[in-house]
Amino acid sequence: MDTLFEVLKWVLIVLLAGFIGQFGRTMGHYVMDYFKKRRKNGTTTSPAERPVEKGASIGSQEINVAKKEAILPSKEEEEKHRAKAEKKDLKAQLKAKKKSEKSKEKG
């Protein structure tokens, strides 16, 4: 009789743990979806991104916030990225060639 209660106790513990785990997983998905929707809608702003009027103060310090400008890559950076992409493609081709030669040697 004691073993029956022991078995039932462990079965209930395992079922409870599974329930808690599933609830936690579902809650995690809900929270992640919530933040993804906020980010997609553009409603998320950190304190650093909020506009501050000129002359506004925090404590005793005066803060001036300049309008953010998009930083476009220079021609040198574009050339560097293009060269890097070409090098990567050549490396992939060389790797594929070596692999095909190796498979020919085995076959």
| Chain centre distance of CA 24 | 20
At residue 54, the pLDDT reads: 56
Amino acid at 3: T
For 22, the domain range is 1-44
In a domain, 5, yes or no: yes
**Within a domain: residue 54?**
no
Q: What is the pTM of this model?
A: 0.31
Q: How would residue 58 be classed by pLDDT, with cut points 50, 70 and 90?
A: low
- Whether residue 62 lies inside any domain: the answer is no
Q: How many CA atoms lie within 13 A of 98 on its CB side?
A: 6
In a domain, 33, yes or no: yes
